[in-house]
């Protein structure tokens, strides 16, 4: 396939100031008439051929300024339309008529049908599946859209912008016209038509304009949209208060659909959502679902400014909108919930999703320079690391200069398609600081490492910290340049308070941050008579790894005393990871290793420390996952041994603290269900305790009782997970699984939880379980949510099952990926990334994984999406 390179960027020869679209919707033969007003760009020679993008298109008719174009005047293929000799005039109108079959579009890109609903997904390159166009983000156009459909099956007709007109057409047909006054790229276009229930509300903006809000859902599910509506209104207020950004149209609509390739889409004024991220009530959604809904509703809404009003010049700049918008949604959730708990959750996600990407064959810079399939670059690096880079800009410049820079960026580029260079320049201009070294965070792949040693000299009361930075090589970047790494730190004294040094010598240190810019730094703190505990990367100030020999007693001290809650959690997490790795190495995973009683006792202390919020305590009590541990081990991994080592530590903690945990479990009832963070935190703590209790008692009794009595999905699903994972095959576990299946058989989103719980049940038998679930009536290979719940969970969360040593997990996985690919190449490609860390496995598993990757890559009819991923993983 073609490789796109950032240096090849050229503006289009023509502009499209105005686009008029008519959709005559029919399930199998929809006619799209596009009236495109073209304007030759200044400096482009008259008559320069007009080359438009298409994808699997079928052209019905072509007119130029109202007259049919002669066959010699154009070349049309499903992939392209070339008007060979456009008029010499500066402006002309091209009318393009195409015919589509939405019912047969299983890619879920372009116009497709989901559960009887017509909907579109155009980002990144779906618009070219609707009509021939400059399907690139830097061509902005004002759209007017007319939709015609059967009134009986599609009473609701929606598009971007504001409603203009609607009416009857006779013969059971009707129409609606929408106009979006804001010029936008084609990827933000959307049409939805169907039969929905709508939850209506309204919002008055800071300047007093009324905005009508609507959330469109499947009939009977309106009540389940209430939390999403609440999250939307809170997002609107927050963006006004924190960033001074107001909504700009008369209406804001959200539609929930059940077949969707990603989480949601920020189409101007008409967000389309995966229904998983809209529908929630206490009986069907967990606290994690509520938190996701809040974050994603906010994320898509925030795109209205960061993405829509200011968009990207090209897809290399994807992080310009995504990294910034993730940063904004993180800040929103931190303000709505608990900031430290949110930060810990963000870092856990970054390490679980982005670190393996950055440390493996799929590593790429936050702003990539090359791609074959842009859909494969909606990655944790672009999104999550991209957000961390924005956060670091704030750390480097300080909150005020950061706010000025963002304001300047928005003022300068409103209505434009911008680049990362534009973004950085706005911060440089607002702060008068040079960010050229810092900008490497956008351009250089790989997770930097800081190796740190610290020595205390009582004689002259100094504390010396030596820091050395390195960035490991990544694909096609063997030599790395020195980064600017903002390292937040603290020196913690015996009383648990931060020590203020009399004088600091060496590197640039500002407001508790060491600015590491050179390869090696020495920082000497004067006036430190007693050796302090060194707290590093507080608040996770930079997305990096730290190599530092820290005494376990210092880590225990920091876990108990650090003033930074993230650092407290981190200290404990480091101790737990180290303990597991020691067990793994000592006896290759045998569970009966003696663990440090001090660590075990600290876990008990954390659980009962009422000065800490329950959500934090729940996180502190959660052990690093098997993949977290494997990542730290790095090479020659045996997932069975990792599992055993982790179980051994869990059991030691559970047994030593059994009485206490039982008491706390009894005390911490969250009471009546509320979806807020404080109530969710109580449930989280109680459910971690339930897991430990089940482990120490070795009995399913506690979990079975909770399963039977639970009145909300969080507690029910947690109990079912414990039963299924800790007591597989036990009559209580089988009965609970059967009960759950029976109760929720007609609720696909809840059945996804049932698939997930079974797909993540540890052990060799998982392969057979997953194989049989592929034939379950509630499973559908064409629905991305089902595929992700079953096969995605198996491949990413079931280390012992997926990596079964006979390779059967990989073979089942590969067969499924190829099945999915026939219908939906994008979803198949994303699924296949689960094999990206195959080289860190022990030799036998490595060979089995390599064989399935080679098998997939040798298929001749492979989609470019899947080929791109598999070939990069193998390279
Ligand atoms: N900006 C949206 C990206 C998206 C997408 C990308 C590829 C294929 C399907 C897709 N659906 C949505 C999501 C977001 O970041 O807000
Ligand atoms: Zn986004």
**DSSP per-residue letters across 43-89:** TSPTTPPEEEE-SS--EEEEEETTEEPPGGGEEEETTEEEESS--SS
Which segments of 277-417 does DSSP mark as H helices, in order?
Answer: 287-302, 318-336, 339-349, 355-358, 380, 386-397, 399-413
Examine the domain organization and report whether 189 and 53 are in the same domain: yes
The band of 858, judged by pLDDT with boundaries at 50, 70 and 90, is very high
Backbone angles phi, psi at 92, to 5 degrees: -155, 160
Neighbours of ion ligand 2 (CB under 5 A): 322, 325
In the chain the first and final C-alpha atoms are separated, in Å, by 16
- Shortest-distance Cα residue to atom 10 of ligand 1: 262
Q: Please classify residue 208 by burial: count the beta carbons closer than 10 Å to its beta carbon, then call 0-12 exposed, 13-18 middle and 19+ buried.
A: exposed
Domain of 52, CATH number, reads 2.60.40.1730
pLDDT of residue 781: 98
Expressed in angstroms and rounded, the spacing between residue 21 Cα and the centre of ligand 2 is 26
- The model's pLDDT over 609-635, given as tens digits with 9 standing for 90+, comes to 999 999 999 999 999 999 999 999 999
- Shortest-distance Cα residue to atom 14 of ligand 1: 265
pLDDT of residue 593: 82
Signed CA dihedral, 411, 417, 422, 424: sign only: positive
- The number of domains in the chain is 3
**Mean pLDDT calculated for residue range 409-431:** 98
Q: Has residue 731 been placed in a domain?
A: no
Please tell me the number of the ligand nearest to residue 274's CA: 1
Report the percent of the chain where pLDDT is more than 90: 98
* Complex-level ipTM: 0.99
- Residue 369 CA to residue 445 CA, distance in Å, equals 11
Please tell me the number of the ligand nearest to residue 326's CA: 2
Contact 196, 118 (CB under 8 A): no
Expressed in angstroms and rounded, the spacing between residue 261 Cα and the centre of ligand 2 is 13
Strand partners, 252: 213
Q: Has residue 615 been placed in a domain?
A: no
- Shortest-distance Cα residue to atom 11 of ligand 1: 262
pLDDT reading at 810 higher than 90: yes
Expressed in angstroms and rounded, the spacing between residue 253 Cα and the centre of ligand 1 is 17
- The model's pLDDT over 451-499, given as tens digits with 9 standing for 90+, comes to 999 999 999 999 999 999 999 999 989 999 999 999 999 999 999 999 9
pLDDT reading at 588 higher than 90: no
Q: Which residues line ligand 1 (CB under 6 A)?
A: 121, 123-124, 261-262, 264-266, 299-300, 303, 322, 375, 378, 826
**Mean pLDDT calculated for residue range 508-523:** 96
Examine the domain organization and report whether 190 and 319 are in the same domain: no
Domain of 794, CATH number, reads 1.25.50.10
Q: Which residues contact 654 (CB under 8 A, 6 or more apart)?
A: 661, 692, 693, 695, 696
Q: Please classify residue 132 by burial: count the beta carbons closer than 10 Å to its beta carbon, then call 0-12 exposed, 13-18 middle and 19+ buried.
A: buried
pLDDT reading at 21 higher than 70: yes
Q: Has residue 767 been placed in a domain?
A: yes
- Residue 396 CA to residue 513 CA, distance in Å, equals 9
Domain boundary among 163, 195, 227: 195
Domain of 431, CATH number, reads 1.10.390.10
- Shortest-distance Cα residue to atom 2 of ligand 1: 265
How many CA atoms, within 13 angstroms, populate the side-chain half-sphere of residue 420?
Answer: 29
- The model's pLDDT over 645-704, given as tens digits with 9 standing for 90+, comes to 999 999 999 999 999 999 999 987 878 999 999 999 999 999 999 999 999 999 999 999
pTM of the model: 0.98
- The model's pLDDT over 269-326, given as tens digits with 9 standing for 90+, comes to 999 999 999 999 999 999 999 999 999 999 999 999 999 999 999 999 999 999 999 9
The band of 586, judged by pLDDT with boundaries at 50, 70 and 90, is confident
**Mean pLDDT calculated for residue range 386-408:** 98
> Which residues in 473-539 belong to E strands, given as ranges?
485-492, 503-506, 508-510, 513-516, 520-526, 533-536
Ligand 1 closest atom vs CA 262:
11
pLDDT of residue 669: 82
Q: Has residue 361 been placed in a domain?
A: yes
- Shortest-distance Cα residue to atom 1 of ligand 1: 265
Q: Which residues contact 666 (CB under 8 A, 6 or more apart)?
A: none
Expressed in angstroms and rounded, the spacing between residue 692 Cα and the centre of ligand 1 is 39
Catalytic residue among 218, 300, 322, 331: 300
The residue range of the domain holding 516 is: 310-533
pLDDT of residue 590: 62
Domain boundary among 178, 195, 212: 195
pLDDT reading at 765 higher than 70: yes
Ligand 1 closest atom vs CA 303:
16
Mutate which of 129, 264, 270 to test ligand 1's pocket (most atoms within 8 Å of Cβ)? 264
pLDDT of residue 591: 57
Q: Has residue 99 been placed in a domain?
A: yes
Expressed in angstroms and rounded, the spacing between residue 788 Cα and the centre of ligand 2 is 20
Closest CA to 117 of 229, 224, 273, 265: 273
300 is catalytic: yes
Closest CA to 305 of 250, 249, 343: 249
Signed CA dihedral, 320, 322, 325, 326: sign only: negative
Q: Has residue 634 been placed in a domain?
A: no
pLDDT reading at 589 higher than 60: no
Q: Which residues contact 643 (CB under 8 A, 6 or more apart)?
A: 589, 626, 762, 799, 800
- The model's pLDDT over 815-828, given as tens digits with 9 standing for 90+, comes to 999 999 999 999 99
Expressed in angstroms and rounded, the spacing between residue 325 Cα and the centre of ligand 2 is 6
Examine the domain organization and report whether 190 and 318 are in the same domain: no
Q: Has residue 230 been placed in a domain?
A: no
Average pLDDT across the chain, whole number: 97
pLDDT of residue 256: 98
- Shortest-distance Cα residue to atom 7 of ligand 1: 375
pLDDT reading at 516 higher than 60: yes
Q: Has residue 807 been placed in a domain?
A: yes
Q: Please classify residue 173 by burial: count the beta carbons closer than 10 Å to its beta carbon, then call 0-12 exposed, 13-18 middle and 19+ buried.
A: middle
- The model's pLDDT over 436-445, given as tens digits with 9 standing for 90+, comes to 999 999 999 9
Report the percent of the chain where pLDDT is more than 70: 99
Give yes or no for a cis peptide into 484 (omega within 30° of 0).
no
The band of 248, judged by pLDDT with boundaries at 50, 70 and 90, is very high
Ligand 1 closest atom vs CA 108:
9
């Amino acid at each position: 396939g073609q490789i796109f390179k950032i240096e090849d960027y050229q503006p289009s020869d023509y502009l499209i100031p105005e686009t008029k679209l008519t959709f005559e919707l029919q399930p199998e033969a929809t006619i799209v008439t596009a009236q495109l007003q073209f304007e030759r760009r200044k400096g482009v020679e008259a008559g320069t051929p007009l080359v438009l993008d298409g994808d699997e298109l079928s052209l019905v008719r072509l007119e130029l300024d109202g007259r049919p174009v002669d066959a010699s005047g154009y070349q049309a293929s499903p992939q392209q339309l070339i008007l060979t000799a456009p008029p010499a005039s500066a402006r002309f109108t091209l009318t393009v008529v195409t015919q589509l079959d939405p019912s047969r579009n299983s890619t879920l890109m372009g116009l497709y049908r989901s559960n009887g609903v017509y909907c579109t997904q155009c980002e990144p390159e779906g618009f070219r599946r609707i009509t021939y166009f400059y399907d690139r983000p830097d061509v902005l156009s004002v759209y007017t859209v007319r939709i015609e459909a059967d009134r009986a099956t599609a009473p609701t007709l929606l598009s971007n912008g504001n409603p203009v007109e609607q009416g009857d057409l006779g013969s059971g047909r009707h129409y609606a016209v929408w106009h979006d006054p804001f010029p936008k790229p084609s990827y933000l276009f959307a049409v939805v038509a169907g039969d929905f229930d709508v939850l209506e509300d309204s919002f008055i903006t800071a300047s007093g304009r009324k905005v009508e809000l609507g959330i469109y859902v499947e009939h009977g599910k309106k009540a389940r949209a209430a939390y999403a509506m609440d999250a939307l209104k809170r997002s609107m207020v927050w963006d006004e208060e924190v960033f001074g950004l107001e909504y700009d149209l008369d209406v804001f609509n959200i539609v929930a659909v059940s077949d969707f390739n990603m989480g949601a889409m920020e189409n101007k004024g008409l967000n389309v959502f995966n229904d998983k991220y809209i529908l929630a009530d206490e009986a069907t959604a967990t606290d994690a679902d509520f938190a996701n809904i809040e974050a994603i509703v906010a994320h898509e809404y925030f795109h209205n400014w960061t993405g829509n009003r200011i968009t990207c010049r090209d897809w290399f700049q994807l992080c310009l909108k995504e990294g910034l918008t993730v940063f904004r949604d993180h800040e929103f959730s931190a303000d709505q919930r608990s900031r430290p708990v949110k930060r810990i959750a963000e870092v856990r996600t970054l390490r679980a999703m982005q670190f393996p990407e950055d440390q493996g064959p799929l590593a790429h810079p936050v702003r990539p320079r090359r791609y074959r399939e842009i859909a494969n670059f909606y990655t944790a690096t672009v999104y999550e690391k991209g957000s961390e880079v924005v956060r670091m800009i704030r750390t480097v410049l300080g909150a005020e200069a950061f706010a000025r820079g963002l304001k300047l960026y928005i003022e300068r580029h409103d209505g434009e398609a911008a680049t990362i260079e534009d973004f950085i320049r706005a911060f440089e201009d607002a702060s008068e600081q040079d960010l050229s070294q810092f900008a490497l965070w956008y351009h250089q792949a790989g997770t930097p490492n800081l190796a740190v040693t610290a020595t205390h000299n009582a004689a002259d009361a100094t504390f010396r910290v030596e820091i050395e930075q390195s960035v490991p090589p990544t694909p096609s970047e063997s030599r790395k340049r020195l980064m600017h790494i903002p390292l937040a730190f603290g020196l913690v004294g015996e009383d648990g308070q931060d020590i203020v040094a009399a004088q600091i010598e060496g590197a640039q240190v500002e407001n508790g941050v060491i600015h590491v810019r050179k390869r090696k730094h020495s920082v000497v703190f004067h006036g430190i008579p007693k050796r302090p505990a060194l707290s590093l990367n507080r608040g996770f100030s930079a997305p990096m790894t730290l190599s530092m020999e820290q005494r376990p007693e210092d880590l225990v001290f920091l876990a108990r005393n650090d003033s930074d809650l993230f650092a407290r959690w981190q200290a404990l997490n480091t101790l737990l990871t180290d303990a597991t790795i020691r067990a793994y190495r000592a006896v290759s995973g045998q569970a009966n290793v003696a663990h440090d009683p001090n660590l075990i006792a600290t876990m008990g202390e954390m659980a009962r420390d009422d000065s800490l919020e329950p959500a934090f305590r729940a996180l502190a009590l959660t052990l690093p996952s098997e993949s977290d541990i494997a990542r730290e081990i790095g090479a020659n991994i045996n997932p069975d041994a990792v599992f055993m080592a982790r179980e051994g530590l869990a059991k030691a903690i559970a047994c030593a603290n059994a009485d206490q945990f039982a008491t706390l479990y009894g005390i911490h009832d969250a009471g009546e269900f509320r979806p807020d963070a404080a109530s969710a935190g109580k449930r989280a703590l109680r459910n971690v305790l339930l897991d430990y209790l089940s482990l120490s008692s070795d009995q399913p009794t506690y979990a079975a009782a909770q399963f039977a009595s639970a009145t909300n999905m969080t507690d029910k699903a947690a109990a079912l997970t414990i039963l299924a994972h800790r007591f597989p095959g036990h009559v209580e576990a089988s009965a609970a699984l059967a009960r759950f299946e029976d109760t929720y058989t007609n609720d696909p989103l809840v059945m996804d939880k049932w698939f997930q719980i079974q797909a993540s049940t540890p052990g060799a038998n998982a392969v057979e379980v997953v194989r049989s679930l592929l034939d379950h009536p509630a499973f559908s290979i064409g629905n991305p949510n089902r595929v992700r719940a079953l096969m995605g969970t198996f491949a990413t969360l079931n280390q012992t099952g997926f990596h079964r040593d006979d390779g059967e997990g990989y073979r089942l996985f590969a067969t499924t990926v190829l099945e999915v690919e026939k219908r939906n190449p994008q979803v198949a490609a994303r699924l296949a990334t689960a094999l990206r860390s195959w080289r860190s496995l022990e030799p036998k598993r490595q060979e089995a994984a390599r064989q399935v990757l080679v098998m997939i890559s040798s298929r001749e009819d492979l989609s470019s999406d899947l080929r791109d991923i598999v070939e990069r993983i193998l390279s």
